[in-house]
Amino acid sequence: MDIFELIRTRRSIRKFTGEAVPDDTINTIIEAGMWAPSGLNNQPWRFAVVRDDRLKKELSSLTHYARIVSEAHALIAVFLDNEASYDRTKDAQAVGACIQNMLLYIHAIDLGAVWLGEILKKKDKVRELVEGPEDYELMAVIALGHPAEKKGNGSRKKLDETLFFRL
């Protein structure tokens, strides 16, 4: 698949089979994230991986998306290390790029994932449950596993609705 096709066909996946994702694969997903660009190459991202059912259940109680969190094979909680941060906007952008790299790699290897943001309303509680230091600020939770739903076509605005200037 060429890179544009890979980007275009990635969809959020919210239903997962019970099939396991090996630790090595999860490590490679995180490494894909770590190859994202960052300002001054400061690499402000930090990760916590959760596969334990009891902990997933606890985390699921913190979000409206409880079913996704408890049924995903694994969760990758992505944090911004405020200690390593030099510019909040740029560092948050770098973490976003990191997350997208992971989502694209997950799609490329025929797994599925969804970027969960709603859980940020309980970001401190999530951090405590994964034993993160106070400087770590939750940016997203990625729920991933083997897809149990088809990747749809998705929908986006037309180019001319978003491109507002060209000279």
Ligand X SMILES: Cc1cc2nc3c(=O)[nH]c(=O)nc-3n(C[C@H](O)[C@H](O)[C@H](O)COP(=O)(O)O)c2cc1C
As given in the structure block, the two tokens for residue 123 are 């970001």
- Indicate which single residue of 116, 126, 130, 142 sits in contact with ligand X (rule: CB under 6 A): 116
Choose one: 7-15, 16-24, 40-48, 124-132; the region binding ligand X (CB under 6 A): 7-15
- Contacts (Cβ under 8 Å, ≥6 apart) of 2: none
- Cβ closer to ligand X: 1 or 40? 1
- Indicate which single residue of 115, 122, 125, 148 sits in contact with ligand X (rule: CB under 6 A): 115
- Indicate which single residue of 114, 130, 138, 144 sits in contact with ligand X (rule: CB under 6 A): 114
Tell me the C-alpha to C-alpha distance, in Å, between residue 113 and each of 57, 76, 101, 107, 137: 18, 10, 12, 8, 21
Interstrand relation of 112-116 and 74-81 (parallel, antiparallel or unpaired): unpaired
For the bound state, the minimum distance from the C-beta of residue 91 to ligand X, rounded and expressed in Å, comes to 15
Choose one: 22-30, 77-85, 113-121, 124-132; the region binding ligand X (CB under 6 A): 113-121
Q: Which residue has the tokens 């994202």?
A: 36
- Indicate which single residue of 11, 46, 56, 73 sits in contact with ligand X (rule: CB under 6 A): 11
Residue 76 falls in which region: left (phi positive, over 0), alpha (psi -120 to 50) or beta: beta
Q: Interface with ligand X by CB under 6 A: which residues?
A: 11-12, 14, 65, 114-118, 154
